[in-house]
Amino acid sequence: MLSIIRIPNEPIVIVSFNFGVDRYLDQQSHIDAEVHRVATEYDCPIFKITDLSRINDMTYGGLSLWLTAMRTTPPYRLSSACVRPAVVSAHPMMQVVARKVKQHFNIEFPVFATLDQALYYARAEHAGCLSRSGLA
């Protein structure tokens, strides 16, 4: 099941799913379109939180497939000027993926153990963005 949840009145989109990376990649254009739609409503960056906490069978092969796909597709899927990524996963391999994304794309994304931690981060970063722009 794929779920794309927009937090009301906040620049936060939560993408969660409980299937393998291959099916996620099949849904990528749909996810991108929804995230882009939300991004057009805000001056500051929006936060795309990908919640992987429901995936129990995360494998190195699946993560490698995802990284390979990202190498052959535009890096905006991971991050752009208007989208700030974050991931929820307690799986130890996710830290390896974060380092590989930094290495290959020069994109940093924080990894959190819980959705609450990721939401706290996004809200704090958004408040900082507003403060820096003089909107707070």
Instruction: Read off the pLDDT of residues 74-112 as tens digits, 9 standing for 90 and up.
Output: 544 545 567 888 999 988 888 888 887 788 777 788 999
The band of 47, judged by pLDDT with boundaries at 50, 70 and 90, is very high
Beta bridge partners of 84: 47
Cβ(114)–Cβ(86) under 8 Å? no
Mean per-residue pLDDT, 16-38: 76
How many domains does the structure of the chain reveal? Answer: 1
Domain span at residue 123 reads 2-133
Closest C-alpha among 10, 24, 8, 15 to residue 89: 15
Position 75 scores a pLDDT of 47
CATH number at residue 111: 3.30.750
| pTM for the model | 0.81
Reduced to 3 DSSP states, what percent helix, strand and coil does the chain have, rounded to the nearest 5? 50, 20, 35
Most confident of 2-16, 36-50, 60-74, 100-114: 2-16
